A and B are shown apart, each in its own frame.
Chain A
């Protein structure tokens, strides 16, 4: 018998973020950015700090602290604590753990928070010592971080789908147009195809605009009982969750992500399909990974990525990464990026997305992807969120 979970006792009652900055002030810690996001989320939810009894935290730069140290510094006393440091999808994993904690009665109100402040130098150190595989077997080659892994993957994807550089350019440009409506995005000025195609090469075939700008920043989401949703706002509940870890042991071409493993189950849980999604946030550490996840999740049944980009993404008729995505808004470490997706879908479903609002969004999808253990990402997660009538 398959257990079909429901998440009727949980709603997203508040969201918040810190400022994103390319160059944090000396001494600025991940803790500071997480704090700013928590203050914003509490304010958004109309809640007091003392009401939080659970924390699910993702960060790659709070060390030597752990989640409980951050709880201490934030003045939180808890009965549920969860820490996930497994790369770019870790905060959507932490989000799922928080939802399940509330559904099982482990906590009433859980703060899901993520943030990083590595600076560029700290980022370079992190990239070269990401795990044993990278440190021992790749760093000496001049690997230089995940750009190399995704350059090789993008080359394979271009061959597989018959894509050109300009196809990825259309994706980056569309996200830049969305970013103009997001006051928090670090890059909001329009970008032309010439800008994109003439940008300096980073790792072939990736250019500067294919690689996320690393920023310092934090995100927070508060989950609680649906009746804690602030008055006047529609409730946002979780319709489905899907996760996959180490789906193919790094043994294939990496063109299919872990989302391919849980896609069928995710849509069955949701009682919906790709055509029902009004707005999506697809983890965009690189444009190629947006293509891969969209195909894995069934958005292109004919697997014609070129046509999907031309007909749905370029003209923004399929609203994907309406906050600009990490490519334009910035990547606040891997983990907080997908929490920004949760936040964005919540704002869209509640009609609070301002200049970038998608009309009458009822059902949204948000994903995470990451933990580039060796040749590509090993973790994937997704949540389908709905506006409750």
Chain B
């Protein structure tokens, strides 16, 4: 072991410049500047120069939202049965295996229960790295169960979307998840349990056209692509280039389709503040929101 340690240390010293540049720098697509990966990570994966919000995975999102990164997950044991035995250029079953291997998840969402600035919450957080965060029977069932759990235990619900929409490899089965989740949300609405929908980059298709747009508040991170149809489909339909900023959070805000665009740093206090508004007052940590 000693020789290895020394050698790696040597290598670190001798090749300082080259080694450090590889994989340690990131080019920001927002401002085209080169930024330190470490700086980016310390800044919650938001570009320190232009505030571009980089995509983060579901676990990083939960760490961001829930106190002390402490939470209990549930329904994580559900997995797809590949009901259509779907094969395109690749078999869906092998795509599932690959996605499971890449993400350590059985499908594109994590259901968790924890606290947000001291307030108990249920959070369903979508994982874009799992087949584009697409929604099939498992995602539909898990989100429905989170909604039901919120209704039964009167615990506020937060759903963080990151999804290309319905999962084509499950055909109409994925479409029916829209109806199922929306019906469950009607019941949640009836019992007056708060539901905050957080839309992140990207949220499109059947996810936007169901639960993502059904929150008591629908809020988004800056610069997120949000829409029903994907930009390419629209371009092909209207045979026109789309205007700059089309379908971005700020565009939706301007058109009255979002309640707020909230910086990643402000997300947790903003939600806490919203939950205070929506729930009976009990002693809790203050939800200081900077009003800059």
- Chains A and B form a bound pair: no
